[in-house]
Amino acid sequence: MKNIAKIIDHTNIRQGATAKDIKKTCDEAKEYGFRSVCINPEWVKLTHNELKHTSIKTVVLIDPPMGLSLHQKRIKMCEKAKKDGADELDIVMNIVDLKYERYNNILKDLKELCKILPTKVIIGSGYLTDEEIEKASKLVKKAGAFCVKTATEKDPLEHRELKEKYYHLKLMKKGAPGLKIKVAGKIKTLFDIQEAIKSGADIIGTSSGVKIMKELRK
């Protein structure tokens, strides 16, 4: 079994989160030794400062839920995140472009973004067919990201069973061999993580990291 704490992106992207909430999330990450803290752009500076002198990364979610902002706006969001202290980007692929097979647009966009910081690309797998999941994963690899990720919390897959998400991980691995795979959404128990790892997940995005670690310690 992998060191579970070291693969968890401890996540707080809740709308309405306060500075106190974000500091608590950072304190939890330090207590349990999580891989990173994943937050919305407005909290990058605070998170970076809270995690100074640790090996825990600051990860920022960019352009949820469907990656529809204009390219130049996405560039500005990512550059600001870097300036504020982010270590990694979790950026949503333009899912509409994918649906309409505008692959050149996707590649142009992602290639530039991936040069700013190490990047995970969220493909919104719950919106996609099996063929689209594989195609999206190939595009992510071609763009130069280091990781392909299932979804944001708004993905329609969140209303379906986790086993479908695990199936998507296998398709992503097939489409982008050699890339890391991140799964996020509805991962709430130790069993969920164990099943995700069996299905090919390298990184787990969850807001239930503390609960899972307490379960593991028992």
Residue-by-residue pLDDT tens, the chain, 218 positions: 469 999 999 999 999 999 999 999 999 999 999 999 999 999 999 999 999 999 999 999 999 999 999 999 999 999 999 999 999 999 999 999 999 999 999 999 999 999 999 999 999 998 999 999 999 999 999 999 999 999 876 666 655 678 888 999 999 999 999 999 999 988 999 999 999 999 999 999 999 999 999 999 88
Can you tell me which residue has the tokens 């649906």? 99
Number of domains the chain contains: 1
Q: Measure the CA dihedral 38/44/49/52, to 10°.
A: 50
Q: Quote the longest CA-to-CA distance of the chain.
A: 50
> Cα 195 from chain centroid?
18
- Rounded to whole angstroms, the Cα distance separating 106 from 183 reads 21
Q: What is the pLDDT of residue 218?
A: 83
CA–CA gap between residue 69 and residue 92 (Å, rounded): 10
CATH number at residue 112: 3.20.20.70
71, exposed or middle or buried, with CB in 10 Å at 0-12, 13-18, 19+?
middle
Predicted model pTM:
0.95
Residues classed as catalytic:
90, 149, 182
Secondary structure (3-state) at 10: strand
pLDDT for the residue 151? 86
Cα-based torsion angle of the residue sequence 165, 166, 170, 171 in order, rounded to the nearest 10 degrees: -10
Q: How far is CA 97 from CA 3, 101, 107, 118, in A?
A: 37, 6, 10, 22
For residue 158, the model assigns a pLDDT of 59
Instruction: Look at the block and give the residue holding tokens 């998507």.
Output: 168
Range of the domain at 60: 4-217
SS3 of residue 192 by DSSP? helix
- Residue 177: cis peptide before it, omega within 30 degrees of 0: no
Partners of residue 130 on adjacent β-strands: none
**Residue for token pair 């797998």:** 125
